[in-house]
Amino acid sequence: MKAARPDVKTRAKFWSAQQDLLVTMSLIGINLAVFVYVTLRDPASLSGSGSIGSAQLGLTRAALDSGPVGFGLPGNEVYVSDGSDWYRLVTSGFLHFGILHLAFNLYFLYVLGRIIEPLIGRVKFLLVYVASLLAGSAGAIVLQPEGLHGGASGAVFGLLGLLFVGYYLRGINPFTTGIGTVLILNLVITFTIGGISIGGHLGGVIAGGLCALVVIPRRPGSFPPWAAYAWPVVIGLLSVAVTIYAVQNSWPA
* Rg (the chain; Cα; Å): 19
Is 153 part of the annotated catalytic residue set?
yes
- Catalytic status, residue 132: no
Q: Which of 81, 101, 201, 239 is catalytic?
A: 201
Q: Which residues contact 234 (CB under 8 A, 6 or more apart)?
A: none
* Partners of 119 in beta bridges: none
Cα–Cα distance, 104 to 66 (Å, whole number): 34
Supply the DSSP symbol for 63.
H
Q: Is 11 exposed, middle or buried (0-12, 13-18, 19+ CB in 10 A)?
A: exposed
36-54: b (≥16 Cβ within 10 Å) or e: eebbeebeebeeeebbbbb
Where in the sequence numbering do the catalytic residues fall? Answer: 153, 201
